[in-house]
């Protein structure tokens, strides 16, 4: 059967500047505490245009038109270094503008909670019908039916029974609450969940369009965002995965949701690897949509420092894991890294558990991994907010661990960090930057023979849920496929011979008695 | 300086997290009265 | 600095007094660590939280500054690796300035 492989990936972004202002928690918290705040007044001046978002170098890397290494050659600030001739269409996916996305939210709404004003709805219907990847989407007809009335939309928003949907400063629709008083079905929660679902649908449609995978070949979907859906009797009941597969025509798939804060995608990929390696399912898709509430999370610092609000992008990804085909990079399931409950929470305990321990198992030294993809947050977003350059800190930690293990000279630490590291290019969308943004690039680089092995690292801040102070982390190694599918060490023929031998010995002993 | 003092810890997910600081200040004879870890990402 | 944490620090100062309570920071970077030290000493300079205009007069230290008081084995296990990762001098110099 052999190790499972990464057969394909898709990555997409959606610019959502109005959601930054109206639904990002930094802004909603500010509005609650201090509606007249300076921040809320200044923020709109710092929102960027769609073209600026498209030509922003890290976004071009995210959708696959440039590589992470290309970013090393672009001097910062990147927001002042637009990529000439940048396209919204990328090798791995696309950058979508907010109006089209609002149309997509209505398409994926199964309970008539989304209303779009008539004129606006007609406009986006035309755009989505002409869209290369979405033109054939299930539910497109919803955009030709039951348009919302502008006055009624305004009334629902003013009554606080619906979340506003805006485009270019104008109220064009709303998402209403799904229950009179159930907080798990409030307008706010329904908005958040529909954004997550719609954006995940977008990236899955791209995966199906850009790779050989057909919708009816998908047997299992693992969704790994950070949202929860359910009602007051089962607030996190699920199931995002099936709701997303349903829209995309994955009629033969079932699925479920996996959660572990930002480490969710790494857990989900390990689960997908296990499901395919054991032969339970042939084709598994791991995916996640974006987080509306995290939009503009650090925008106060960006505004204060005179920068554009760079956290205006919803991030999404989808990865197809399948049986070993002898070609695509394998997932080394014999050396999965995990932060154990008993591992401890100091940075070195965490890094030992998720980087050093699995490499020991695989027989590799830290510098023998060509690239590490830990948390790939764009440093241009995090540095002004005081969190530093997160990927670089991770690279230095990995290097420092290597020094402590005597594999690396301390004076070479920075050099090593630069050689197995890359600049961060992912939006700060929690689960989105956590290891997974590099899988598409890693697959290409391995297939092109540029590198042989990569470690994907996901880390999660479980303490934010206030149930435990524990940290979390999971890692796995992606490696060049040797072309021989039989490599897991489990060989049926060998086991058969071993059993036969044992039986012979037993029979001899038995006879001897 | 730490011995016998009450300590409030403001850890950082991408720096030194709260629980690691707790272990340290306890070893110096301080009493931890509050410990948290901030997350910017 | 997180608004909820500002409220907690305010409560704790009322309970224990500024002479008995010390704030220990684990910040990843100088500016943010300095901001936290300033907030618990002279008040929230961003005027966002409960410590806006409130001068608690607390002393804040980054954990790197307290190395000598900590059991070396514990420090080695919990912190030492991060000395190779973060800008120790820069952080310490910044935090110091807010202790008067």
* Beta strand segments in chain C, E: 21-25, 59-62
Q: Does domain A5-479 have CATH number 2.60.40.10?
A: no
Write the DSSP symbol of residue C47: S
Helix locations, A372-458, DSSP H? 379-382, 390-404, 413-420, 439-447
Q: Which residues in chain A have their CB less than 8 angstroms from residue C86's CB? A: 388, 393
Given this model, what pLDDT does residue A19 score?
98
Helix (H, G, I), strand (E, B), or coil: what is residue C76? Answer: helix
Residue A159, C-beta contacts closer than 8 angstroms, at least 6 positions apart: none
Given this model, what pLDDT does residue A12 score?
98
- In angstroms, the separation between the Cα of residue A450 and the nearest Cα of chain C is 28
Encoding tokens for residue A55?
Answer: 């030509």
Q: How many residues does chain A have?
A: 513
> Residue C77 and residue A400: Cβ atoms within 8 Å?
no
Nearest CA in chain A to C35: A386
Q: Of A37, A303, A346, which to mutate for an interface test with C (greatest number of C Cβ within 10 Å)? A: A346
Any B CB within 8 A of C35 CB: no
CA distance A334 to A338: 12
ipTM associated with this complex: 0.95
Residue A491, C-beta contacts closer than 8 angstroms, at least 6 positions apart: none
Give the mean pLDDT of chain A.
95
Strand-pairing partners, residue A501, are none
- The domain limits of chain B are 6-38
Q: Which residues in chain A have their CB less than 8 angstroms from residue B17's CB? A: 345-347, 471
Among A347, A428, A463, beta carbon nearest to B41? A428
Q: Which residues in chain C have their CB less than 8 angstroms from residue A387's CB? A: 28-29, 32
CA distance A298 to A27: 10
- The domain limits of chain A are 5-479
* A127 class by beta-carbon count within 10 Å (0-12 exposed, 13-18 middle, 19+ buried): middle
Interface of A with C in 13-42 (CB under 8 A): 29
Q: Of B6, B14, B16, which to mutate for an interface test with C (greatest number of C Cβ within 10 Å)? A: B16
Helix (H, G, I), strand (E, B), or coil: what is residue A29? Answer: helix
Interface of C with B in 45-74 (CB under 8 A): 61, 63, 66, 69-71, 74
CA distance A378 to A393: 12
Given this model, what pLDDT does residue A294 score?
98
Given this model, what pLDDT does residue A490 score?
60
Among B10, B17, B23, beta carbon nearest to C23? B10
Given this model, what pLDDT does residue C1 score?
86
Q: Which residues in chain A have their CB less than 8 angstroms from residue C78's CB? A: 346, 348
Other C-beta atoms lying within 10 Å of the C-beta of residue A239: 16
Given this model, what pLDDT does residue A1 score?
59
Q: Which residues in chain A have their CB less than 8 angstroms from residue C94's CB? A: none
Given this model, what pLDDT does residue A503 score?
84
Given this model, what pLDDT does residue A501 score?
83
Among B1, B8, B14, beta carbon nearest to C23? B8
Q: How many residues does chain B have?
A: 41
CA distance C41 to C21: 12
Any B CB within 8 A of C82 CB: yes
Given this model, what pLDDT does residue A494 score?
72
Q: Which residues in chain C have their CB less than 8 angstroms from residue B34's CB? A: 8-9, 12
A241 closest CA partner among A231, A233, A229 = A229
Residue A342, C-beta contacts closer than 8 angstroms, at least 6 positions apart: none
Given this model, what pLDDT does residue A509 score?
80
Digit-coded pLDDT (tens) for C67-76: 999 999 999 9
Angle at C99 (CA atoms; ends C98, C100), nearest 5 degrees: 95
- Residue with structure tokens 């005027």? C47
Cβ atoms of B10 and C36 within 8 Å: the answer is yes
Element (H, E) at A175: strand A170-176
Q: Which residues in chain B have their CB less than 8 angstroms from residue C69's CB? A: 1-3, 28
The radius of gyration of chain A's CA atoms, rounded to the nearest angstrom, is: 24
Cβ atoms of A283 and A273 within 8 Å: the answer is no
Chain B residues whose C-beta is within 8 A of a chain A C-beta are 12-20, 23, 35, 37, 39-41
Residue ranges in chain A modelled with pLDDT below 70: 1, 485-492, 512-513
Other C-beta atoms lying within 10 Å of the C-beta of residue A286: 31
Q: Which residues in chain C have their CB less than 8 angstroms from residue A300's CB? A: 46, 48
- H, E, C per residue of A79-141: HHCCCCCCCCECCCCEEECHHHHHHHHHHHCCCCCEEEEHHHHHHHHHHHHCCCCCCCCCCHH
């Amino acid at each position: 059967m052999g190790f499972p492989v990464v057969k394909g990936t898709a990555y997409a972004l959606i610019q959502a500047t109005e959601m930054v202002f109206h639904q990002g928690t930094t802004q909603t918290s500010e509005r609650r505490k201090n509606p007249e705040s300076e921040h809320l007044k200044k923020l709109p001046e710092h929102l960027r245009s769609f073209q600026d978002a498209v030509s922003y170098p890290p976004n071009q890397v995210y959708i696959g038109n440039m590589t992470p290494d290309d970013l090393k050659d672009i001097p910062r600030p990147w927001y002042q270094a637009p990529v000439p001739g940048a396209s919204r269409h990328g090798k791995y996916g696309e950058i979508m503008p907010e109006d089209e996305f609002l149309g997509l939210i209505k398409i994926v709404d199964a309970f008539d909670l989304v209303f779009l004003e008539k004129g606006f709805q007609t406009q986006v219907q035309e755009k989505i019908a002409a869209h290369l990847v979405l033109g054939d989407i299930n539910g497109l007809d919803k955009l030709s039916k039951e348009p919302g009335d502008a006055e009624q939309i305004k009334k629902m928003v003013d009554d606080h029974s619906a979340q506003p949907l805006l485009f270019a400063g104008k109220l064009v629709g709303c998402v209403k609450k799904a229950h009179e008083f159930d907080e798990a079905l409030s307008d706010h929660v329904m908005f958040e969940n529909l954004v997550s679902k719609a954006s995940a649908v977008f990236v899955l449609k791209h995966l199906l369009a850009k790779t050989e995978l057909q919708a009816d070949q998908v047997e299992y979907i693992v969704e790994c965002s950070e949202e929860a859906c359910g009602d007051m009797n089962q607030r996190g009941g699920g199931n995002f995965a099936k709701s997303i597969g349903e829209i995309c025509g994955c009629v033969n798939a079932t699925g479920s949701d996996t959660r572990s804060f930002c480490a969710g995608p790494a857990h989900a990929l390990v689960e997908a690897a296990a499901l395919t390696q054991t032969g339970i399912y042939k084709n598994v898709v791991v995916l996640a949509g974006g987080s509306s509430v995290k939009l503009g999370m650090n925008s106060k610092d960006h505004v204060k420092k005179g920068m554009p609000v760079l956290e205006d992008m919803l991030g999404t990804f989808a990865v197809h894991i399948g049986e070993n085909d002898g070609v695509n990079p394998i997932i080394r399931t014999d050396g999965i890294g995990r932060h154990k409950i008993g591992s401890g929470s100091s940075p070195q305990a965490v890094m030992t558990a998720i980087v050093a321990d699995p490499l020991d198992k695989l027989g590799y030294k830290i510098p023998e991994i060509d690239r590490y993809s830990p948390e790939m947050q764009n440093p241009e977003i995090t540095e002004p907010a005081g969190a530093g350059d997160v990927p670089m800190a991770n690279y230095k930690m990995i290097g420092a661990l290597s020094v402590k293990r005597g594999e690396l000279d301390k004076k070479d630490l920075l050099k090593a960090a630069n050689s197995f590291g890359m600049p961060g290019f992912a939006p700060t969308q929690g689960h989105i930057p956590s290891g997974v943004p590099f899988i598409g690039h890693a697959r290409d680089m391995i297939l092109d023979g540029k590198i042989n092995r990569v470690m994907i690292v996901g880390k999660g801040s479980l303490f934010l849920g206030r149930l435990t102070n524990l940290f979390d982390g999971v890692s796995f190694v992606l490696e060049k496929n040797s072309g021989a599918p039989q490599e897991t060490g489990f060989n049926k023929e060998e086991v058969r011979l071993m059993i036969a031998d044992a039986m012979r010995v037993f029979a001899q002993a038995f006879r001897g008695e | 300086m730490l011995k016998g003092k009450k300590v409030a810890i403001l850890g950082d997910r991408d720096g030194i997290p709260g629980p690691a600081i707790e272990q340290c200040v306890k070893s110096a004879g301080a009493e931890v009265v509050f410990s948290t870890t901030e997350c910017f990402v | 600095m997180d608004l909820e944490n500002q409220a907690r620090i305010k409560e704790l100062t009322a309970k224990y007094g500024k002479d008995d309570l010390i704030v220990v920071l684990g910040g990843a970077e100088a500016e943010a660590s300095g901001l936290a030290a300033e907030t618990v000493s002279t008040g929230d300079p961003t005027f966002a939280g409960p410590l806006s205009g409130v001068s608690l007069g607390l002393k804040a230290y980054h954990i790197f500054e307290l190395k000598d008081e900590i059991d070396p084995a514990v420090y080695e296990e919990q912190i030492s690796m991060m000395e190779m990762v973060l800008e120790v001098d820069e952080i310490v110099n910044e935090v110091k300035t807010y202790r008067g």
